[in-house]
Amino acid sequence: MTFNFLMQNFINALQWGSFYALIALGYSMVYSILMLFNFAHGDIFMVGAYIGLGVATALLALVGTSGAALLPGWLILVLTILISMFLTAFVGIIVERVAYRPLRDAPRASAAITGLMIGIILETSNILFLGGSRLKFPQLIESVTYNIGGVYVTNKKIMIVLVSLGLMLALHQFVRRTKYGMAMRAMAYDYLVIPLMGVSMNRIAAMTFAIGSALAAAAGILFGLAYPVLDPYMGVSFGWKAFVAAILGGRGSIMGACIAGFMLGFIEIMTVPAIQILNRLFALNIGSNLRDLIAYSIVLLILIFRPHGLFGEAYSAKLRL
Amino acid sequence: MPLLEVIGMSHYFGGLRAVSNYNLSLESGQIAGLIGPNGAGKTTIFNLITGIYQPAEGEVRLNGTNVVGKRTNQIAALGIGRTFQEMRLWRHMTVLEHVKMARYSKLSYGLFGAFLDSPQRRKEEKKSTELAMEYMELFGVDQYADQLVVNLPYGAQRRVEMARALAMEPKVLLLDEPTVGMTPEEMVDMIMVVRKAHERFNLAIFLIEHRLRVVSELCQNVQTLVFGEVLVEGTPNEVQNHPKVIEAYIGDQEIDF
């Protein structure tokens, strides 16, 4: 049990947390403005990953037919991320239009159910059109492993963490400094006044879904780079766990969603070395397959002591920085 | 042609007739008042004019164009601004953000410009901040620019709401009980604020009030609404001394001569 081993896990936890944080943001933003959780969000992450697969494949084919390697791998990756974020944003807009807007005045439970149904529709459509078999995500960049003082880090892991942090920072600036971000925050406080400012509530709602979905798509592609096998149900457990992160962070808090996403990654990943340490110290025999049981018991404990989440406030679930 | 004209407007809540054959004619630069006991339907009339409710019958004309059926945000963009009795401010946003929010439609940068921090976004936001500061100065809340509205004194919150409504550059301003809950000093202050806004922007103002002093100081014309119907209409003096109005108000503690 060395320091290196812990560092290794630490880096894995950062990567894992990036996925949770990016997805949790979508839950938190939508909740704060509509007071509804978009339960299709995990499946939008899945759709984003598949769209990324399609875009990457198309770009590779395009480069392949034009002969030489005109585009380096990293550029294809950047293009894939940007194009897929753009396309997945429209999936989010459609989900809002079809499943949420018509039910805005309906009982909350009904709108939650429609989200779940959209999720099932997305999963089964995927099986219908793509056959349900697992697909391999093309590896757009060569994997390079660096050895930093005995800790092995791949260029992909570094890139995944940096891209995620970059996106979170961009979102933070967007919400803080632009008129759209301001409208989203204002709508979270009092949506009735928004139209009286000449602003269409429907547009702000659609925009929120679009941004959340684009972030989920980025998470999907980054996930595909790290774990290059996609399947139609990949969004289910990921979605639920990111949902846990959104609640743990405090509903509506952007920073909370990010930090709780990383925290969840740490709790999950670090549970395994913790089990190993305990086993060695006390000569126990706890299986590491108990990881999720232990990790989520910890989350449950945190919520018992902080029922409004880490950055949540008792009186409001409004969009905050 | 009147700037704002309401013709034969009625509205029902279930089977209850909340507003009945209501008419209004407001010229540019005119200040008119709407008084009446609680539950008479005054705020409902505001909600009908601003498109929050759809009138069952009648027309609302702004500059001669019927706006019934348009969305609230479209009607607001055409030039009807409004404040609320319960001041709907966004508690944890700054004063500056409130006033800038009213400039939303005047900024034209798009979603990509917003994410990429385009020079256009910077330029427009900067200009919007400067303009917002002017409105805040006008209503004496510029010293609170970066404070959260929740931390402001009550009177200042009211003035923030006015600054926000006016930063939209409306032609008609609807004020729903602008002096509710105010001390007499704050009330006098508010009367001055409304006057200032009126003079500076040549607004047509239509206000709901319970305090007759506010109405008689500000309005040229007053309507009394009882059970959704206009009972008496005239100058503040005529209305105040009308036997029907006195009768309608008997027992109503809210009135404040």
Domains (range + CATH), chain B: 1-79+170-257 (3.40.50.300), 89-168 (no CATH)
Any A CB within 8 A of B87 CB: no
pLDDT at B223: 93
The Cα angle at residue B175 between residues B172 and B181, in degrees rounded to 5: 165
Q: For residues A244 and A5, which has the higher predicted lDDT (pLDDT)? A: A244
CA neighbor of A287 nearest in space, from A275, A296, A298: A275
Q: Are strands A145-148 and B4-13 parallel, antiparallel or unpaired?
A: unpaired
Pick left, alpha or beta for residue B230 (phi over 0 → left; psi -120 to 50 → alpha; otherwise beta): beta
Chain CA centroid to CA B26, Å: 14
**Counts for chain A of helices (H) and strands (E), in that order:** 11, 4
Contact (Cβ atoms closer than 8 angstroms) between residue A1 and residue A273: yes
CA neighbor of A219 nearest in space, from A203, A199, A197, A242: A242
Lowest mean pLDDT among A1-5, A297-301, B14-18, B186-190: A1-5
**CB pair distance less than 8 Å for B104 and A183:** yes
DSSP codes joined into one string, A217-271: HHHHHHHHHHS-EE-TTHHHHHHHHHHHHHHHH-TTBHHHHHHHHHHHHHHHHHH
Q: In chain B, what residues touch A174 (CB-CB under 8 Å)?
A: 114-115
Residue A319: phi, psi to the nearest 5?
-65, 120
Q: In chain B, what residues touch A182 (CB-CB under 8 Å)?
A: 93, 97, 100-101, 104
Q: Chain A neighbours among B 186-245 (CB < 8 Å)?
A: none
Name the closest residue on chain A to residue B161, using Cα atoms.
Answer: A193
Q: Buried b vs exposed e over A282-316: b needs ≥16 C-beta within 10 Å?
A: eeeeeeeeebeebbbeebeebeeeeebbbbbeeeb
Contact (Cβ atoms closer than 8 angstroms) between residue A222 and residue A1: no
The string of pLDDT tens digits covering residues B20-33 is 999 999 999 999 99
**CB pair distance less than 8 Å for B97 and A182:** yes
pLDDT at A132: 77
Pick from A177, A189, A198: CB nearest B105: A198
**CB pair distance less than 8 Å for A199 and B104:** yes
Burial of A113 (0-12, 13-18, 19+ CB in 10 A): middle
**Counts for chain B of helices (H) and strands (E), in that order:** 10, 10
For the cut 60, the answer to whether the pLDDT of residue B255 exceeds it is: no
pLDDT band at A88 (very low <50, low <70, confident <90, very high): very high
Our CA-based measurement puts residue A174 at a distance from the nearest CA of chain B, in whole angstroms, of: 6
pLDDT band at A66 (very low <50, low <70, confident <90, very high): low
Mutate to test the interface with A, among B49, B82, B86, B92 (most CBs of A within 10 A): B92
Mutate to test the interface with A, among B82, B93, B116, B146 (most CBs of A within 10 A): B93
Residue indicated by tokens 């391999």: A136
Q: Which residues pair with B233 in a beta bridge?
A: B223
Angle of helix A254-282 versus helix A234-249 axis, rounded to 10: 100
pLDDT at A165: 96
Could you give the percent of chain A with pLDDT greater than 90? 51
Q: Which residues pair with A202 in a beta bridge?
A: none
Could you give the percent of chain A with pLDDT greater than 70? 95
Our CA-based measurement puts residue A279 at a distance from the nearest CA of chain B, in whole angstroms, of: 49
Our CA-based measurement puts residue B195 at a distance from the nearest CA of chain A, in whole angstroms, of: 22
Pick from B91, B114, B168: CB nearest A189: B91
Radius of gyration of chain B (CA): 19
pLDDT at B27: 92
pLDDT at A41: 95
For the cut 70, the answer to whether the pLDDT of residue B206 exceeds it is: yes
Q: Which two tokens stand for residue B73?
A: 């945000």
pLDDT at A213: 97
Q: In chain A, what residues touch B67 (CB-CB under 8 Å)?
A: none
The string of pLDDT tens digits covering residues A166-220 is 999 999 999 988 999 999 999 888 888 899 999 999 999 999 999 999 999 999 9
The string of pLDDT tens digits covering residues A283-313 is 888 887 888 888 888 888 888 888 888 877 6
Pick from A180, A192, A320: CB nearest B114: A180
**CB pair distance less than 8 Å for B92 and A189:** yes
Question: A3-134+146-305 domain in CATH 1.10.3470?
Answer: yes
- DSSP, collapsed to helix, strand or coil, labels residue B66 as strand
Q: In chain A, what residues touch B121 (CB-CB under 8 Å)?
A: 178
**CB pair distance less than 8 Å for A179 and B107:** yes
Q: What's the sign of the alpha-carbon dihedral A294, A300, A301, A302?
A: positive
Any A CB within 8 A of B97 CB: yes
pLDDT at A69: 60
For the cut 90, the answer to whether the pLDDT of residue B239 exceeds it is: no
**CB pair distance less than 8 Å for B76 and A197:** yes
Distance CA A29, CA A209 (A): 8
Our CA-based measurement puts residue B188 at a distance from the nearest CA of chain A, in whole angstroms, of: 27
**CB pair distance less than 8 Å for B88 and A198:** no
pLDDT at B166: 93
| Mean pLDDT along residues B9-37 | 91
The Cα angle at residue A58 between residues B117 and A155, in degrees rounded to 5: 60
Question: In this structure, what is the dihedral angle of CA atoms A29, A173, A97, A246, given to the nearest 10 degrees?
Answer: -20
pLDDT at A321: 56
| B112 CB-side CA count, 13 A | 3
Name the closest residue on chain B to residue A168, using Cα atoms.
Answer: B115
pLDDT at B117: 85
Our CA-based measurement puts residue A269 at a distance from the nearest CA of chain B, in whole angstroms, of: 33
The string of pLDDT tens digits covering residues B45-89 is 999 999 999 999 999 999 999 999 999 999 999 999 999 988 889
Q: In chain A, what residues touch B157 (CB-CB under 8 Å)?
A: none
Residues in chain A: 321
Distance CA B123, CA B135 (A): 19
pLDDT band at A315 (very low <50, low <70, confident <90, very high): low
Q: In chain B, what residues touch A214 (CB-CB under 8 Å)?
A: none
pLDDT band at A316 (very low <50, low <70, confident <90, very high): low
CA neighbor of A114 nearest in space, from A104, A129, A128: A104
Distance CA A161, CA A199 (A): 36
The string of pLDDT tens digits covering residues A132-173 is 788 899 888 888 889 888 888 899 999 999 999 999 999 999
Contact (Cβ atoms closer than 8 angstroms) between residue B172 and residue B80: yes
| Count of pairs with CB atoms under 8 A, one residue in A, one in B | 87
Angle of helix A234-249 versus helix A3-34 axis, rounded to 10: 80
CA neighbor of A179 nearest in space, from B61, B60, B98: B98
Total Cβ atoms within 10 A of residue B236: 20
Q: For residue A285, what is the DSSP state?
A: -
What rounded mean pLDDT belongs to chain B?
90
